[in-house]
Amino acid sequence: MTAPFPPTIAEAAAGLAAGDLTAAGLTELCLARIEALDGLVNAYHKVLKDEALASAAASDARRAAGKDVGPLDGIPLAVKDVIQVENHACTANSRVLQDNIADTDAGVIACLRAAGAVILGIVDTYEFAFGGRPTHDALFPPACNPWDVTRSTGGSSSGCGAAVAAGLCLGAVGSDAGGSIRSPAALCGTAGIKPTIGRVPTSGVVPLTFSLDTVGPLAQTAEDCALMLQAMAGYDPTDQLSADMPVPDYANALTDRLDGLTVGIARGFYRDDYDTPADIAGTYDVMGKVFEGLGAKVIDTDLPPLMDFHAVGRLILPSEAYAIHEETLQTRWTEFGPLARNRMMLGALVRSSDYLQAQRRRRELAHAVDAVFEDCDALVAPAMLTPAGPMDSDEAFPFLAAPMINVPFNLTDHPAVSVRCGFQDSGMPVGAQIVARRWKEAGALRVAHAYEQAAGWRDARAAVG
């Protein structure tokens, strides 16, 4: 019999504080579920069993001595395989980096260890966080969606979404340059937040871009993401984009009501700009009623066309990825999987003048979104426009099909939380983005948490296995 689904981080933290749970017990629970279920979902590249159990024992000893270091002390977490964990391979799921042993923890992992978190293992990613869809030609087999293992998790933080949704950890650390946290969160029915660039250190993370990379948490709920982000955020002098500014108390900012707030709905993104399936679009249409019930004023917002964001992202992302990986692409061409290679090589075709024009248009789009926040406190947008794709797709350029619904807020650098907002007719989850002003992660998490509490969708769990 499979071990029971683990509690949320908030529930586990309360249980640990009350003495009803132990870090060792939580870790053993996750390890048992990994043993039973990971053969179905392929979330983990490497399970750090002995290290995790030792960390859990140390956490229990601290707590017994009255020296626990906060709500994450003893919480088992997974780490995307682009983020360094000391003494272990950080492969980015590529043969190019299969022998890349990290000599130190990434900045964000050091922060989490300082908060007492237990690192369970290293989980799947699309190759170099840029493959475009699940691929069977990378270093490790692709993670599957726990709600239907014949379907994709979304990416590129595929293992994070799969591990959280399947209950193989309590939370996971992902990265996001074009939707890579929010896409798997939406398709796998979890929560996840892309913070403002500079809020969370990116030192020790395999880079994808120069100007878009972020690191953030995925977990069962927005409240859990708030608890993780509290430990992950902060200034890192070794990270040139890191912001030296105070970190708010994210958990204390959460409320059950939204009285006095205005919430904008980006209806054009899914009604006018794309032929979104009815069972996905319909879940977004009814979200406004929930916000009104929470005391918020709800308005429709006017954003630039989604394809404008898509076009800009399609120039900037591959251009910067190619610039970072150009030398390796030239010298170790055959070690790349074709999807990652094809996607990066598109960047070689972008003229410098086109890249500069894209950056100019990016600033214009950012100003347009800033203007929306003159009339609202939070913005609701889709986190997905299409169902999770099949695992056996052989499409050569899948990333050129539907517009990238999550990339707008990478380009504009607004924090965005993905929350579950319903289910498709097939039973697969649907996710929405809650977006706030730059540096106002606390506001986005507050709105997301209140919505989750009122809507009730967050309590369902994938029945994998």
β-bridge mates for residue 79, sequence order: 122, 173
> Which positions ≥6 away from 331 have C-beta within 8 Å?
none
Q: Is 157 considered catalytic here?
A: no
Question: CA-CA distance, 193 to 383, in Å (whole number)?
Answer: 11
Torsion of CA 275, 277, 280, 284, to 10 degrees: 40
Cis peptide, bond prior to residue 156, ω within 30 of zero: yes
Which of 59, 80, 158, 242 is labelled catalytic?
80
The answer to whether 234 and 441 are in contact (CB under 8 A) is: no
Please choose, from the candidates 12, 11, 33, 18, the residue with its C-alpha nearest in 3D space to the C-alpha of residue 75.
Answer: 12
Residue keyed to tokens 């707030």? 261
Q: In sequence order, what DSSP letters do the residues of 252-269 get, joined into one string?
A: GG--S--TT-EEEE-HHH
Which of 180, 183, 203, 319 is labelled catalytic?
180
Q: In sequence order, what DSSP letters do the residues of 413-439 get, joined into one string?
A: T--EEEEEEEE-TTS-EEEEEEE-STT
Q: In sequence order, what DSSP letters do the residues of 8-49 get, joined into one string?
A: PHHHHHHHHHHTS--HHHHHHHHHHHHHHHHHHH--EEEE-H
The answer to whether 332 and 224 are in contact (CB under 8 A) is: no
Helix (H, G, I), strand (E, B) or coil at 79: strand
Q: Is 211 considered catalytic here?
A: no
CA distances in angstroms from 264 to 187, 369, 395, 428, listed in the order given: 23, 11, 36, 26
Q: Is 80 considered catalytic here?
A: yes
Q: In sequence order, what DSSP letters do the residues of 124-159 get, joined into one string?
A: --SGGG--SS--TTSSSPPP-BTTBTTB---SSSHH
Which of 94, 156, 175, 418 is labelled catalytic?
156
Q: Which positions are catalytic? A: 80, 156, 180
